[in-house]
Amino acid sequence: MDYAYFEGKIIPVEQANINIKTNSLHYGTLVFEGIRTYYNEKQNQLYILFSNDHYLRLLKNAKAMFMDTNKTPEELTEITKELLRKSEIREDTYIRPFVYFKDLALTPKLKDFTSEIAIYTYKFG
C-alpha cells in the first residue's frame, strides 16, 4: 500500500485529498522539491540523496512565500524515512514534498494563511 504524509500524519495516499477550493490550486501558491532514492538490492537498502539539502531549500522557499512549516530539514528527513518504511519500498523512488496554503479562499494574498506540508512517493520500478 502507498502512503503519504498529509496534515501531520502518515495515511494511505488515497485519503490524502485537497479541497477543490484550496488557494494553492487556484494561485499556484505552493513550493515543492523532488528527491531521488536509489535501492541497492545486494544491501537491501534504500538510499535517499541529499534529503537535508532538498528540505533546507524547500523551507527557505516556503518562508519566501510567507509559509510557516514548524519543521526542520532533519525532522522532514525522519518523516520521509518513516513514510518509505511504512510503504515498504524496495525500488528506486521519487519523493515529492511540497508546502501549500490549505485555506479555501479565492484571493492572491499570501499572509495569514495556514500552510501544510505534504509528502508522497512515486516508484520508478
Single-letter code of the amino acid located at 40: N
Q: Which residues contact 79 (CB under 8 A, 6 or more apart)?
A: 5, 10, 71, 119
> Is the predicted pLDDT of residue 125 greater than 80, yes or no?
no
Which domains can be identified in the chain, with CATH numbers? 3-123 (3.30.470.10)
In whole angstroms, give the CA distance from residue 79 to residue 73.
10
Task: Please measure the distance between the N-terminal and C-terminal CA atoms of the chain and give it in whole angstroms.
Answer: 15
Using one digit for the tens of pLDDT, what is the confidence trace for 95-115? Answer: 999 999 999 988 887 778 999
How confident is the model at residue 79, as a pLDDT? 98
Q: What is the pLDDT of residue 66?
A: 92
With 0-12 CB in 10 A as exposed, 13-18 as middle and 19+ as buried, what is 116?
buried
Dig out the grid coordinates for 67 from the structure: 509559509
pLDDT digits (tens, 9 = 90+) for 24-68: 999 999 999 999 999 999 999 999 999 999 999 999 999 999 999
User: What is the rounded average pLDDT of the residues 62-90?
Assistant: 95
Give dist(CA 31, CA 61) in Å, integer: 7
Q: For residue 70, what pLDDT is reported?
A: 93
